Amino acid sequence: MSPVDFILGLKELTIERVERRRDIHVWARPAKRPVCLHCQAASVRIKATHPRTLKHTRQGNQLMVLHLSVPKYHCTDCNRYFRHRFAGIRPRLRSTETYRLEVFEAHEGGVSQRQLTVTHGLGSATVERWYQSFVKQRVSELSGRSCPQVLGIDEHFFSRKKGYATTLVDLKNHKVFDVVLGRSEPSLRRYLSRLPGREQVKVVVMDLSETYRQIVRQYFPNAKIVADRFHVVRLVNQHFLKLWQQHDPEGRKHRGLLSLMRRHAWNLSAEQRQRLAQYLEQYPVLKALYRAKQRLMRFLLLKTLNRQRAQKLLPRFLALIEQFANSPAKTLAATLTSWLEPIVGMWRFSKSNGITEGFHTKMEMISRRAFGFRNFENYRMRVLALCGWNGVINRV
C-alpha cells in the first residue's frame, strides 16, 4: 500500500486516482477480497459493482468527496450474496463516520447550525439529526453502569409542569451519574429498586433533607450519610439571623452589621472586631449566641481528621450543642442532634456537594441554550452527554 492510500484514514482501501476541483475527489476500491459473511469461506467471486459517493472530512477549506466502487460478492460454497463492508462507513449513508463526528464535535464546540450549513454543505436538520444520533450513542455507552462508591444526591428544578428532578453525581470522578424526575420516595422507587450496584455505595453526601435520608437508608443499605458542609453552615446562619431579628429588628436591617455577623470572626480586621464588639455589648444574650456560633463554626469547618482526633473533639462538640439546647437556639440544637452522625462525618470526609451544585449551574445553562425542555428524557440525554460521559466516541 502506497503512502497516498493513508490520506483517507480508512482501512483496507486502495486509492485509484485523486482530482482537485472545487472539492477534492478521491476514487477508491477495496484493497482485498473478504471471506464470506455467512459461511466464512474464501471462495467468493465478484457478481457486480456499483458506485457510491460519500462526504469524508475536510482538507483545509476543501471538502473531500469519496467515490467508492462497492463490489457485490457471490459465495460459491453457500450460494449466498453480500456486499462489501467498509470500516468507518455505514450502509445507505452518504457520509463517513469521520465526517459525521467532525460535524458533531464542531456543533458541540459552539459552531452554529447556520455556519455549518455554509462550511460543510449540510442542512440544519441534518446537523441536528447527526447531533442527536451521537448524543444517543454517548448515553448508550453509559448504560449498564453500576453505582459509584461516593455518591452525591441533590434536587434541582426542571420545569413548572414536571416539577423537580434528582441528580446523582459520582463525586470521586466528578461526573453526573444520572438524572431522575421527582424527589420523593414514590417517584424514585421504580428507578432506585432497579439500580445496579446499590450495595457497593459507601458514602452518600447530601443536604439536611429528611426525605433523601430515608431514601438512602432504604435503597443504599451499606452507605454512610455525610452532611454537606455548605448546607449545615447555611442552616446555622439562618437560625442565628432569626434570633437576631427577635432581639433587635432594626439592627438586623443594617447591611454593615449584617456583613460582620455573617463572617467568621477570624476573618475580621481589628477595626471590624471593635465595631462588632461595641454593638454586641448592648445585647448580652445576642453576644453569647454570637460567641457560641463562632465556636460551632470552627467545629463545622473541620475536615480530614483521623479517628483519634475526631473522638477527642466529639465530647466538646456535644457540650456545645447542649449549650445551644439551654438557650433560645433550641430548634438549632434539635436539628444538630438529629443529624449528629452525618455532621460528624464531615470531619473525616473532604468531599462536598459543591460538585453537584456546579453541575446544576451547568444544567441550567444547557436548558437556557435549548430554550427549555418539555421532554424530560431529551433533557436527561443532553445532561448525561455533556456532564456524565467520559472518553471518546468509539468509531465504527
> So what's the pLDDT on residue 395?
44
> So what's the pLDDT on residue 390?
61
> So what's the pLDDT on residue 392?
46
Sorted by where each begins, the domain ranges of the chain are 1-91, 150-227+353-388, 229-348
pLDDT tens digits along 168-191: 999 998 999 999 999 999 999 999
Q: Name the class of domain 150-227+353-388.
A: alpha beta
Name the average pLDDT for the chain.
89
**Whole-angstrom distance, CA of residue 287 vs CA of residue 115:** 63
**Whole-angstrom distance, CA of residue 381 vs CA of residue 303:** 35
Taking 80 as the threshold, does the pLDDT of residue 143 lie above it?
Answer: no
- DSSP letter for each residue of 45-98: EEEEEEEEEEEEEEETTEEEEEEEEEEEEEETTT--EEE---TT--TT-SB-HH
pLDDT tens digits along 57-72: 888 788 889 999 999 9
Rounded to 5°, angle at Cα 357 from 352 and 359:
115
**Whole-angstrom distance, CA of residue 84 vs CA of residue 70:** 6
Confidence band for 253, pLDDT divided at 50, 70 and 90: confident
Average confidence (pLDDT) over 352-362: 92
> So what's the pLDDT on residue 7?
61
pLDDT tens digits along 66-96: 999 999 999 999 999 999 998 888 888 899 9
Confidence band for 6, pLDDT divided at 50, 70 and 90: low
Q: Which has the higher per-residue pLDDT, 138 or 36?
A: 36
**Whole-angstrom distance, CA of residue 175 vs CA of residue 170:** 5
Closest by CA to 37, choosing from 72, 12, 89, 11, is: 72
The pTM score is 0.75
Taking 50 as the threshold, does the pLDDT of residue 393 lie above it?
Answer: no
